[in-house]
Amino acid sequence: MPLLKSWVETANDPDGDFPLNNLPYGVFSVGGDDPRCCVAIGDKVLDLAALEAAGLIGVQGEPVFDHPFLNEFMELGAEIWAQTRSKLQDMLADGADPKAITPALHAQSDVEMHMPFIVVEYTDFYAGRHHATNVGTMFRGAENALPPNWLHIPIGYNGRASTVVVSGTPIRRPLGQLKPPDADAPHFGPCKRLDIELEMGAVVGTGNRMGEPVTVQEADDMIFGYVILNDWSARDIQAWEYQPLGPFQAKVFASSISPWVVTKAALEPFRCSTPEREKTLLPYLQEPGPMLYDIDLEVKMQATGSDTTTTLSRTNYNQMYYSAAQQLCHHAIGGCEMSVGDLLGSGTISGPEKDERGSLLEISWGGKEPFTLDSGETRSFIEDGDTLTLSGRASGDGYNIGFGTCVGTILPAIEKENW
């Protein structure tokens, strides 16, 4: 599919992230106004609540865009998603009359972005083979890197929806129990091995009833769109607590997402297949067609007090072993009710090479191989004041489908006497 031309000139920039082909959804405010729904087009945001109030878009019934979240629109289902996208593309296409639309456009530089949807539940998976192999090799040795079930099911755990935040929200360094390998007993204090996990997040747009499993195809149909996700991780807290039930405090303190939800429709030209299976999956997990996406991803770090940003990693979502549709299918197969606004983290996305690793744990190989930033500082993990920026885009014929950035700066831990 080529670039769709728009009368919004900046949407035609071949290096931009938000052409007419994209139209990702978000929630914005400007000045003292209440947050409401929007789409991105070029360097502008288009106020959907204003268009709805003017009768230019919408469906019968109550307004769905005059809210600080997308959930009410998402629950209307795929037919309404498609109709709304088509209508917006018609109104913004080159040759359309901009007169009625222009008053609803705002410069992205003038607005504040908010959480795009209410995260009802959050589940994080461990579905990238290169990441799982690297981490397993560090902790258990190469011969036992992957758990016995890893090639058969997408492993996941339930995280905390309450601490999923939008890009730009500062992240407080967590506290917890720490036990270095040479210590006889744990102690309490700030995490010293703070890390990121480069992930994609799948946003569930329609749900299922409790007790009713879904197929992989039905799961794919339930997904509204995708965000960039940074699942912040406290590796030293995790190392002590994760046996036998997995992560707890090490993961629940924060997860950041990009402000834009890129729709599945915008990503359709970039579908690709999951890799060839070493072990044949059980029939319920087998995909009827390509369910992954070719999306380039990048991690950058800016050290505290520095003006220089260093690219740490470049990889691609196509490296995942399990797709979001497979993850959602497996999540619901036992009868779990999935809801509008559920968020599924893909798991850390790493490629086969060192410069394709999606976590500092892998890049520094557990802290044994510190890396040097372009500004001259060295790091193994994140220090207070450091800023991490995750981004992603799919590249088409003369256009990109971008997600914006997922940014977080680390604040010092809160410490009290006698802790």
Cα–Cα distance between 74 and 120 in angstroms, integer? 13
Catalytic residue among 131, 152, 187, 330: 131
Residue 224 near residue 261 (C-beta atoms within 8 A): yes
For the beta carbon of residue 266, count every other beta carbon within 10 angstroms: 23
CA distances (Å), origin 222, targets 15, 154, 208, 225, 269: 31, 18, 9, 9, 18
Closest-CA residue to 258 (of 232, 228, 220)? 228
CA distances (Å), origin 115, targets 76, 118, 344, 355: 20, 7, 16, 31
Cα–Cα distance between 41 and 38 in angstroms, integer? 10
Closest-CA residue to 194 (of 249, 226, 235)? 235
Looking at the chain, the number of H-run helices and the number of E-run strands are 10, 26
Cα–Cα distance between 53 and 409 in angstroms, integer? 37
| 14-23 core/surface letters (b: 16 or more CB in 10 A; e: else) | eebbbbbbbb
The C-alpha angle 38, 40, 42, rounded to 5 degrees, equals 150
Closest-CA residue to 346 (of 397, 401, 295, 410)? 295
Question: Has 131 been annotated as catalytic?
Answer: yes
Q: What are the residue numbers of the active site?
A: 131
